[in-house]
Amino acid sequence: NAGVTQTPKFQVLKTGQSMTLQCAQDMNHNSMYWYRQDPGMGLRLIYYSASEGTTDKGEVPNGYNVSRLNKREFSLRLESAAPSQTSVYFCASSEIAFTYGANVLTFGAGSRLTVL
């Protein structure tokens, strides 16, 4: 099984350009997440989708939009990229999103984005 697949793995953008990061999971999970990882900052949640048809903001949503295309796919869009968005982006999924519980996340391999 592929698990969580992210594309592209690497991307270089110029300031102001737009792009979409794609994520797909084949585990029939209901919930999906986008995190960004920066040195010394750990992982910070950008957006999540608890179930198909819903999306919610996380800790650092500014400058991003998401689309839960169907149960399998969750995309992250940068409308006008800024150098501050240079980061490694991780998509993750979990079987369900508990109202409060032990969500076990499965992560993709990451997408490294550089904005010049």
Partner 1 sequence: AQSVTQLGSHVSVSEGALVLLRCNYSSSVPPYLFWYVQYPNQGLQLLLKYTSAATLVKGINGFEAEFKKSETSFHLTKPSAHMSDAAEYFCAVSVGQASGYSTLTFGKGTMLLVSP
Residues of this chain that bind partner 1 (CB under 8 A) = 4, 31, 33, 35, 40-45, 48, 50, 54, 56, 58-59, 90, 92, 97-110
Helix (H) and strand (E) counts in the chain: 0, 11
Nearest to 46 by CA among 17, 9, 104, 85: 85
* CB-nearer residue toward partner 1: 59 or 79: 59
Smallest distance from partner 1 to CB 70, Å: 19
Does residue 89 contact residue 23 with C-beta atoms inside 8 Å? Answer: no
* CB-nearer residue toward partner 1: 20 or 55: 55
* CB-nearer residue toward partner 1: 30 or 75: 30
Task: Give the whole-angstrom CA distance, residue 36 versus residue 89.
Answer: 4
